[in-house]
Every structure is written in structure tokens, then in C-alpha cells.
Amino acid sequence: MAPLSLDQIEQHLESENSRDRMVALAHLRHFSPGEALPLIKKVLDDEVLQIRSMAVFALGIKATAESYPILIRLLETDPDYGIRADAAGALGYLEDPRAFEPLVRAFYEDTQWLVRFSAAVSLGNLKDPRAQTVLLEALKSSEVVIQQAAIAALGEIKALDATDAILNFAGSEDWLVRQRLAEALGHLPSPKAQSALTFLAKDAHPQVAQAAEFALERLSQRLETPESGSREGQNPLE
């Protein structure tokens, strides 16, 4: 199917058929953020929750100067927790350092685990080392998915001194937790991480073992050339 034109997308967004509106949003991927934003804004308050969710996600992918304040407003005030979670996730795509404090507040203050999960993931995407404190707190969550997000994010921010804390999950019954641990350890060059990855490379679950083997290769290169591994963008496996 040929991409819709901007005029066609606008017409579809005004259709009473929700499927037309969804198709129109999907076709915005062919256009620049500046062209897409006015059309995304048309459906931010759509009556269909899935369309609202798609529009919020699009604000993160098609980032403009307006994306940040809109997403912050949704994160802090929208009554639907799914939309708040979508806004938290989209803020991670923006990688805007101003989002650090709003995401931390969302993690501590929002009562819905999905919002807290999205906030933890996005704190990792920001790669701000200040997130370590809240992410260590997230490890204590009773929600396994939040633990997974926190482990992954601690790897993303390269929180080397959090290695011991995440190694406590090496024996988790949840294989996804062990996989996230393996992936995170690949960002944390130390002999302790290397030893843990050697153990995880023998994991009974193939995806855990594969993640550990990849991380072990990544880690070995960093340990061999620490001066280059510490510079942004120098690791050939990143």
C-alpha cells in the first residue's frame, strides 16, 4: 500500500471509523516530526484509548520542541494510568535530561505499577547516573517486571557500584530477570561481572545463556581495553 499523503492522513484522522484513524497515525512514520506533530495533536484526546496510546507514543518517536511539555502534562495529570505509562515511556525516547525529575516523581508517587515500570525503563534510557538511587529502590519492588526494568536500567546507566545489588537476582526463578541481569552485566566491566556471566552462560534457559555469552564477549573486550571502553561510542559492540 502506498503511503497516505498528509491531506489524506488528516481526512482519515477526522473519520468516525477508529480503524481509519489508527491507519492514519501509522502512516505518519513517513513524515518529519514537524509535519506529523499537528496531526498527532488532533487525536491526543481521542475517545478510543488505543488511538490515544498510539498518539502519545508518536510524540516520543516524532520528537519536536512541543513533545516534552505535552508528555509531562500527560504523565502528571492524565486520569488514565495507561496513558501516563505511555507518556513515561515516550519521555525515554526523547532522551531529554529535563525528564529526570518528573520520571523520578512518577516512580515514587504513582500508585500504578505500569507507570512505575515505564518510568524505570525511561530512567535507563536517559543514561543519567543520578537514577541509581531510585533504581536500587526499584529492585525492592514486589512486581517482577519492575525488578526487570531496574536491572536493565542500572546496566544502561553503567552503575558499576550497583553490581552486587543486581547479582542478588542471579538465582531468580524468572528467566527474564536472569536475562536482564546478563544484559546489564555486559555494561558493567569488572571481574565479578565476568564471573557471574560465566555462570549465566550455562543457564538452562537458552535465551539467558545466549544473552550471557554475548555480554561476556562484550565485557571481555572492555576489560582488555578499558581506556577505549570508557569513551562514549568506542565499544564496537554497542
223 — pLDDT class (breaks 50, 70, 90): low
Is the per-residue pLDDT at 126 higher than 90?
yes
Q: Is 169 left (phi over 0), alpha (psi -120 to 50) or beta?
A: alpha
Mean pLDDT of the chain: 92
- Report pLDDT for 232: 39
Is the per-residue pLDDT at 161 higher than 90?
yes
- Report pLDDT for 220: 77
Buried/exposed 169-195: b ≥16 CB within 10 Å, e otherwise: bbebeeebbbbbbbbbbbbbbeeebbe
Is the per-residue pLDDT at 188 higher than 80?
yes
- Distance between CA 196 and CA 194 in Å, rounded? 5
Is the per-residue pLDDT at 234 higher than 50?
no
- Distance between CA 142 and CA 158 in Å, rounded? 24
Residue 230's contacts (CB-CB under 8 Å, 6 or more residues apart) are none
Whether 14 and 6 have beta carbons less than 8 Å apart is answered as no
Q: What is the mean pLDDT of residues 145-158?
A: 97
Count the neighbouring beta carbons within 10 Å of the beta carbon of residue 19: 11
- Report pLDDT for 230: 40
238 — pLDDT class (breaks 50, 70, 90): very low
DSSP run (H or E) holding 81: helix 81-94
- Report pLDDT for 1: 64
The phi and psi torsions of 64 (rounded to 5 degrees) equal: -135, 180
Is the per-residue pLDDT at 50 higher than 90?
yes
Q: What is the mean pLDDT of residues 179-192?
A: 95
Count the neighbouring beta carbons within 10 Å of the beta carbon of residue 158: 15
Is the per-residue pLDDT at 236 higher than 60?
no
Q: Which residue has the cell 566491566?
A: 189
Of the candidates 63, 61, 70, 76, the one whose C-alpha atom is nearest the C-alpha of residue 107 is: 76
Residue 209's contacts (CB-CB under 8 Å, 6 or more residues apart) are 200, 201, 202, 203
Is the per-residue pLDDT at 7 higher than 50?
yes
